[in-house]
Chain A
């Protein structure tokens, strides 16, 4: 493209940029909802916006390729791509403005993003204009444009996904190197958390935990503030603090204390999910029965900020935390090769207890009882710390093998029933501090062997049926412990 054709194009582009800038100035996003067509078009912004991003990066790549003699020809297409980038940037800015105007957006972040977009379009047109005439200026401008684009995209990303989206799961070490502050604790209450706060509530001098803070706010936080928060305020409604919840939105107050069915928020979350007014809006996960119940109770009890959680009777229990179990062992996956080698060598199975790789392994010998002996246990020693549950019933394990087993420090459950072990070996098992279940049914063990075990704090179940031990009567072999 020659400068003769590009200059008028640049003029048109510049004119459009000024028009858009005026639009942004005169009609800034104010959070109010507007016409359906503008919403429809506006929602293409997140899609179209990736075109200029990709194209600008391509321009930079093409120009850089030009530094190498054998790639010189690539540089020739840079001009065309640049024009395309400027053109798509204009469209993206226009759609972005429509989206911002269509409701739910206001505040510093969106304003900054919009001015970033307008400036970017302007910068791209400038690049187009000077590319042929001033190489030095062009290089500087292109570099600045790329930087401006990165910043603007970042603002846009924060707008959609929330601040800290990119860095939320950044490893702590990298975080320290880059000086990124630690992530905000996501407000998902667990039984544990409440348990702790209830304990602290009972100590004098502490404010007791409120029903709103512990039960209601987390629901708003989880299901609502993505659109009704500080960044996006659809319908001018914010549900991020108690005051904002009570203030309501453009349609007025949403909570009528004492009257759940008359409260707009309750009406909206209990509408059939296919209703146009149902909240959370289509495509977002709806509230659970328990969550609806909590909100209903909170409003019925006067929508109080200060009501203590313990005063509310009959609230649905908190769902048990899904990511509960603390790691029992190290992740077995890095040792997969070793584990498989042992499986094929010994015939035993080393089965992960669950899909959680830190739940440890089960040592399963039921198919190869004859082959599983003391020597096999010695061979398993390298991965012993991964074994949580050892099923060794009816194997050839003897007291000698128990010496090896007593180093399997992560064992929680051990089944040695119907083996030739005696009290001599069983005494060694008292080294297993994490052991919770020990099955010694039909073994040569007697009272002298289990005397030490009875004092183990963690041992909950000790089975001694068909042994010489005195306590083993039917249905009472389980060790009684408080």
Chain B
């Protein structure tokens, strides 16, 4: 008789079935088979145990005593829990300036730099910092003062760059954080860190945590939407990718849904010509039935995420055209956002879309504008970037404000790090470049329970180091979660033996100074 094959290919194999797995350990065959059965049964039993337990408890005690369970049933849309406390902000919009805007050219006013043109940055300021490969070989680090003037804005009279004539008007309504800090000096890890709380890919993004933690407000639209803006010709583009809005180890239904900036916002959403909505419904019912069978057989919760996605797509067929049809916008909208907003996919258009999503119950919208990576030609590119984003950012905050939506909507504007005060490459009176700078950068927040007209933290005269009140990315994320009613220590998901959370394992602290 042929002996049983010693190799049982298990589902757990990480190497596409090539290498040894846990099932290959020298243990009796029966035990290995038992493990294999357990691996698929585990999902099922784990879930069933909880469900049955709660069902039993609820019927025993009555719902009055099982408050948490009752609460979970009331949240709707698959929310896992309620806010830890009643928050000011119900939703958030993140205007993400990918590539890292220059803080000293836009927000962090350092008048003393003008007289230091082409002087060397003192070594004591830079300390033993490891620079990027792009400037570490430079013979000298000449200081490049901002090319543009700064003007007083608002009642507070704070200085804002002349590149931001629109957003500058908001200084009395926003909280400026001059002392943001990050651990990474290059785009990919830095943008992952600020979006997902970790430099290593595979973690859920801020929006996914919020979807998972707070659930949906409108079942007809995604909870987390990503809008990529059209790029600006001539700017240095850094790639962005879906791992920035992925749900990581959380179920797929919490991942961000990225709308396209050209053509149909979501592909393949329209029915083919001649297909009625009823036929589509029947088709989805049939697919769901098959998926449900798969789920009952295998017990993998991801199958449910797939069913959820089909259902969401079906509902979005009806809700999305209404969302993106701007014909019902009054004339005042166009006076505020400008004509740019009429171009589909532009940053201003996306800002308007973000406001419309706020009105329609989208929990978290992240608008990306790429191109801020000004290693050279700051003078040529920064005005283009500001022109493309300045009015849209202003219009969004002002529009939310006048429509009474800013009280419960948090708006964030910022990039993944800052830029160096010294010039990368040649410095002239007419032009300069700026390298990556993780030690300080400026981010602003508006609405959603943040302070109005507040400036947080202080950088040194070179806009290089933090002098007072640093805000690390994890502290910032903890504060954002707090503003939305979530205790960052409590919103966790057990994965790889760790209670994972957005703010990671290094203790993060909420910044009370930012909160009104």
Q: How far is the CA of A359 from the CA of B74 in the complex (A)?
A: 14
Identify which of B220, B402, B407 contacts A474 (C-beta below 8 A).
B402
Distance from B390 Cβ to chain A, minimum over Cβ atoms (Å): 17
Cβ of B119 within 8 Å of any chain A Cβ, yes or no, is no
Residues of A within 8 A of B360 (CB): 366
Given contacts A333-B70, A349-B74, A359-B85, 20 further A-B contacts (CB under 8 A): A333-B71, A337-B63, A339-B74, A340-B74, A349-B76, A349-B77, A351-B75, A351-B82, A352-B75, A352-B82, A353-B82, A355-B81, A355-B82, A364-B76, A366-B361, A367-B361, A417-B404, A466-B332, A475-B398, A477-B404
Cβ of A356 within 8 Å of any chain B Cβ, yes or no, is yes
Q: Which residues of B from 341 to 376 have beta carbons under 8 Å from A?
A: 359-361
Closest 5 CB pairs of A and B: A463-B404, A366-B361, A439-B404, A354-B86, A353-B86
Q: Is the CB of B82 within 8 A of A336?
A: no
Counting chain A CB atoms within 10 Å of each CB, the highest count among B87, B220, B361 belongs to: B361
Q: How far is the CA of A359 from the CA of B361 in the complex (A)?
A: 21
Q: Which residues of B from 204 to 234 have beta carbons under 8 Å from A?
A: 217-220
Residues of A within 8 A of B336 (CB): 474
Q: Is the CB of B74 within 8 A of A461?
A: no
Q: Which residues of B from 397 to 423 have beta carbons under 8 Å from A?
A: 398, 401-404, 407
Mask: chain A, 249-291; 1 = CB below 8 Å from B; 0 = not: 0000000000000000000000000000000000000000000
Cβ of A441 within 8 Å of any chain B Cβ, yes or no, is yes
Identify which of A325, A336, A415, A477 contacts B73 (C-beta below 8 A).
A336
Q: How far is the CA of A482 from the CA of B51 in the complex (A)?
A: 52
Distance from A168 Cβ to chain B, minimum over Cβ atoms (Å): 22
Label chain B's interface by main secondary structure. loop
Distance from B185 Cβ to chain A, minimum over Cβ atoms (Å): 29
Residues of A within 8 A of B220 (CB): 367
Q: Is the CB of A477 within 8 A of B485?
A: no
Query: How many residues of A are counted as interface, with CB atoms below 8 angstroms from the partner's CB atoms?
Result: 39
Q: How far is the CA of A442 from the CA of B402 in the complex (A)?
A: 11
Query: How many residues of B are counted as interface, with CB atoms below 8 angstroms from the partner's CB atoms?
Result: 37
Evaluate whether A354 and B63 lie within 8 angstroms (CB atoms) in the complex, with A336-B74, A349-B76, A366-B360 already known.
no
Q: How far is the CA of A481 from the CA of B235 in the complex (A)?
A: 46
Cβ of B20 within 8 Å of any chain A Cβ, yes or no, is no
Q: Is the CB of B76 within 8 A of A351?
A: yes
- In the complex, the chain A residue whose C-beta lies closest to that of B70 is A336
- In the complex, the chain A residue whose C-beta lies closest to that of B82 is A355
Cβ of B330 within 8 Å of any chain A Cβ, yes or no, is yes
- In the complex, the chain A residue whose C-beta lies closest to that of B405 is A439
Distance from B308 Cβ to chain A, minimum over Cβ atoms (Å): 15
Residues of A within 8 A of B68 (CB): 355
- In the complex, the chain A residue whose C-beta lies closest to that of B330 is A466
Cβ of B311 within 8 Å of any chain A Cβ, yes or no, is no
Q: Is the CB of A352 within 8 A of B85?
A: no
- 9 inter-chain pairs at a CB distance below 8 angstroms, sorted by A residue, are A352-B74, A352-B75, A353-B82, A366-B217, A437-B404, A442-B330, A472-B402, A474-B336, A474-B398
Q: How far is the CA of A336 from the CA of B67 in the complex (A)?
A: 9
Mask: chain A, 441-482; 1 = CB below 8 Å from B; 0 = not: 110000000000000000001010110000010110110000
Q: How far is the CA of A333 from the CA of B87 in the complex (A)?
A: 20
Mask: chain A, 352-380; 1 = CB below 8 Å from B; 0 = not: 11111101000010110000000000000
Residues of A within 8 A of B404 (CB): 415, 417, 437, 439, 441, 461, 463, 465, 477
Cβ of B83 within 8 Å of any chain A Cβ, yes or no, is yes
Residues of B within 8 A of A393 (CB): 359
Cβ of B2 within 8 Å of any chain A Cβ, yes or no, is no
Distance from B139 Cβ to chain A, minimum over Cβ atoms (Å): 44
Q: How far is the CA of A437 from the CA of B359 in the complex (A)?
A: 16
Cβ of A334 within 8 Å of any chain B Cβ, yes or no, is yes
Q: How far is the CA of A475 from the CA of B169 in the complex (A)?
A: 11
Identify which of B82, B173, B403 contacts A465 (C-beta below 8 A).
B403
Residues of B within 8 A of A466 (CB): 330, 332
Q: How far is the CA of A320 from the CA of B516 in the complex (A)?
A: 13
Distance from B137 Cβ to chain A, minimum over Cβ atoms (Å): 41
Residues of B within 8 A of A336 (CB): 63-64, 70, 73-74
- In the complex, the chain A residue whose C-beta lies closest to that of B69 is A336
Q: How far is the CA of A343 from the CA of B404 in the complex (A)?
A: 26
Cβ of A384 within 8 Å of any chain B Cβ, yes or no, is no
Cβ of A86 within 8 Å of any chain B Cβ, yes or no, is no
Distance from A478 Cβ to chain B, minimum over Cβ atoms (Å): 8
- In the complex, the chain B residue whose C-beta lies closest to that of A349 is B76
- In the complex, the chain A residue whose C-beta lies closest to that of B66 is A333
Q: Is the CB of B74 within 8 A of A350?
A: yes
Q: How far is the CA of A441 from the CA of B404 in the complex (A)?
A: 8
- In the complex, the chain A residue whose C-beta lies closest to that of B77 is A349
- In the complex, the chain B residue whose C-beta lies closest to that of A473 is B402
Q: Is the CB of A333 within 8 A of B86?
A: no
Residues of A within 8 A of B173 (CB): 475
Q: Is the CB of A340 within 8 A of B217?
A: no
Evaluate whether A417 and B403 lie within 8 angstroms (CB atoms) in the complex, with A336-B73, A354-B485 already known.
yes
Q: Is the CB of B402 within 8 A of A477?
A: yes
Distance from B447 Cβ to chain A, minimum over Cβ atoms (Å): 12
Cβ of B84 within 8 Å of any chain A Cβ, yes or no, is yes
Residues of A within 8 A of B63 (CB): 333, 336-337
Q: Is the CB of B74 within 8 A of A354?
A: no
- In the complex, the chain B residue whose C-beta lies closest to that of A337 is B63
Distance from A372 Cβ to chain B, minimum over Cβ atoms (Å): 13
Residues of A within 8 A of B402 (CB): 441, 463, 465, 472, 474-475, 477
